[in-house]
Copies of this chain bind each other. A is one copy, B any other.
Amino acid sequence: MLSIKRLSLEDARILLTGAEAKSREIGVPMCIAVTDESGHLIAFNRMDGGKVTSIDIAINKAFTAACARRGTHEYNKMAVPGSPTFGIQNSNQGRFCIIGGGLPVVVDGEIVGGIGCSTGTAEEDQVVAQGGIDYFLQHRK
């Protein structure tokens, strides 16, 4: 039998709080999604001004980071034509997102969820996702 660690809704809210603070700091409103370690959505916020097309992208970034167990920016580099991983972006009914801004949430060396941000550039999205994680690691109970 396996024993799994998983973000609670309370944990997810701390991640959202941290990401939202970072989003305000850099001045780019975001769609922010938090999934559990199985890639299923726990919590989502579209800040006023977040893009409609980023709803899907943020959720899929969190899904991908949690389940493929890497930052989505890493897959961005791996999934170029000619590389052996090219094509992975078409898998999972198009839900495998290879744009930066999705990060696994790791506690005690275990992936317990994912966070995905979208609306800015991939770099901005990643900064906001990391902001959520940094805040979470300091404030989780």
B-binding residues in A (CB < 8 A)? 1-9, 11, 36, 38-48, 51-57, 60, 64, 66-69, 73, 76, 79-82, 84-94, 96-100, 107, 112, 121-123, 140
Contact B80–A81 (Cβ < 8 Å): yes
Chain B nearest CB from A54 CB (Å) reads 8
How many copies of this chain sit in the oligomeric assembly? Answer: 4
A40 partner residues in chain B, CB cutoff 8 A: 38, 46, 52, 55
- Once bound together, how far apart are the Cα atoms of A96 and B86, in whole Å? 12
Chain B's closest residue to A45 (CB) is B43
For the complex with contacts A39-B53, A88-B99, 5 further pairs of A-B residues with Cβ separation under 8 Å are: A1-B8, A73-B84, A79-B86, A81-B81, A89-B90
